[in-house]
Amino acid sequence: MNADLHCHSIVSDGCLEPAAVVRRAHDNGVTLLSLTDHDELSGAAEAAREAATLGVRFVPGVEVSVSYQDVTVHVVGLGVDPENPALRANLEQVRAGREERAQRMADALARTGLGGTLSGARRFARNPAMIGRAHFARHLVASGVMPDVRTVFDHYLSHGKPGYIPHRWADLEEAVGWIRGAGGIAVMAHPARYCNRLSTTALDRLFDIFVAAGGEAIEVVAGAHSPEEAQRFATVARRRGLLASVGSDFHGEGESPVDIGRCNPLPPDLKPVWSRLI
Ligand code: AMP
Ligand code: MN
Ligand code: MN
Ligand code: MN
Return the ligand number nearest the Cα of 249.
4
Residues 206/74, Cβ–Cβ less than 8 Å = no
Nearest CA to ligand 1 atom 2: 132
Return the ligand number nearest the Cα of 102.
1
Q: Looking at residue 270, what is its pLDDT?
A: 98
Q: Is any atom of ligand 1 closer than 6 Å to the C-beta of 153?
A: yes
Domains of the chain in sequence order:
3-96+168-276 (3.20.20.140), 98-157 (1.10.150.650)
Q: Which residues of the chain have pLDDT under 50?
A: none
Residue 244 identity:
A
Q: Looking at residue 250, what is its pLDDT?
A: 98
Q: Looking at residue 58, what is its pLDDT?
A: 98
Q: Looking at residue 26, what is its pLDDT?
A: 98
Q: Looking at residue 168, what is its pLDDT?
A: 98
Q: Is any atom of ligand 1 closer than 6 Å to the C-beta of 38?
A: yes
Q: Is any atom of ligand 1 closer than 6 Å to the C-beta of 163?
A: no
Q: Is any atom of ligand 1 closer than 6 Å to the C-beta of 150?
A: yes
For the chain, give the secondary structure using H, E and C. CCEECCECCCCCCCCCCHHHHHHHHHHCCCCEEEECCECCCCCHHHHHHHHHHHCCEEEEEEEEEEEECCEEEEEEEECCCCCCHHHHHHHHHHHHCHHHHHHHHHHHHHHCCCCCHHHHHHCCCCCHHHCCHHHHHHHHHHCCCCCCHHHHHHHHHCCCCCCCCCCCCEEHHHHHHHHHHCCCEEEECCHHHHCCCCCHHHHHHHHHHHHHCCCCEEEEEECCCCHHHHHHHHHHHHHHCCEEEEECCECCCCCCCCCCCCCCCCCCCCCEHHHHCC
Which pTM was predicted? 0.99
Q: Report the phi/psi class of residue 189: left, alpha or beta, with left for phi > 0 and alpha for psi in -120 to 50.
A: beta
Determine how many CB atoms are found less than 10 A away from the CB of residue 239: 9
Q: Is any atom of ligand 1 closer than 6 Å to the C-beta of 134?
A: yes
Return the ligand number nearest the Cα of 130.
1
Q: Could you give the CA distance from residue 10 to residue 50 in angstroms, rounded to a whole number?
A: 15
- CA 104–ligand 2 middle distance (angstroms): 19
Q: Is any atom of ligand 1 closer than 6 Å to the C-beta of 251?
A: yes
- CA 114–ligand 4 middle distance (angstroms): 27
Q: Looking at residue 256, what is its pLDDT?
A: 92
Q: Is any atom of ligand 1 closer than 6 Å to the C-beta of 133?
A: yes
Nearest Cα to 46, choosing from 64, 27, 22, 67?
A: 22
Residues 71/198, Cβ–Cβ less than 8 Å = yes
Q: Could you give the CA distance from residue 148 to residue 152 in angstroms, rounded to a whole number?
A: 7
Residue 222 identity:
A
| Positive/negative CA dihedral, 33, 232, 74, 103 | negative
- CA 12–ligand 2 middle distance (angstroms): 7
Q: Could you give the CA distance from residue 78 to residue 75 in angstroms, rounded to a whole number?
A: 10
Q: Looking at residue 215, what is its pLDDT?
A: 99
Q: Is any atom of ligand 1 closer than 6 Å to the C-beta of 149?
A: yes
- CA 96–ligand 3 middle distance (angstroms): 18
Q: Looking at residue 247, what is its pLDDT?
A: 98
Q: Is any atom of ligand 1 closer than 6 Å to the C-beta of 249?
A: no
Best residue for ligand 1 mutational test, from 133, 151, 161, 164 (most atoms within 8 Å of Cβ): 133
